Amino acid sequence: MRVESLFFVLAIGVAAGWLGGNFVKGYGLGLAIVMIVGVAGAFIGAWLFSTFHFVSGAGFVGDLMGASVGAVALLLALRLLRRRVSRNT
């Protein structure tokens, strides 16, 4: 992977994680966690968009949109999991 590609993936990850954290309130995320959520969200968003045959567009904005949707989905799933675990204890 070239340095430009790595920078692009990290920029998308940070932006998507930040957008997801702002959309799903209740998470005080640090920069490293924001990057992890954003990059994981990019994979989840790509999977969701391909599963439902939705085209997000090309380039930075399209990738950011897909990664943000994935980050929000990941944070909502974590919130549901956290609630379920806290009810059982």
* Cβ contacts of 48 within 8 Å, gap of 6 or more: 54, 66, 69, 70, 73
pLDDT for the residue 42: 80
pLDDT for the residue 89: 65
What residue ranges of the chain have pLDDT lower than 50?
Answer: none
pLDDT for the residue 27: 61
The structure's pTM equals: 0.74
Maximum CA pair distance of the chain?
A: 47
Is residue 9 within 8 Å of 41, Cβ to Cβ? no
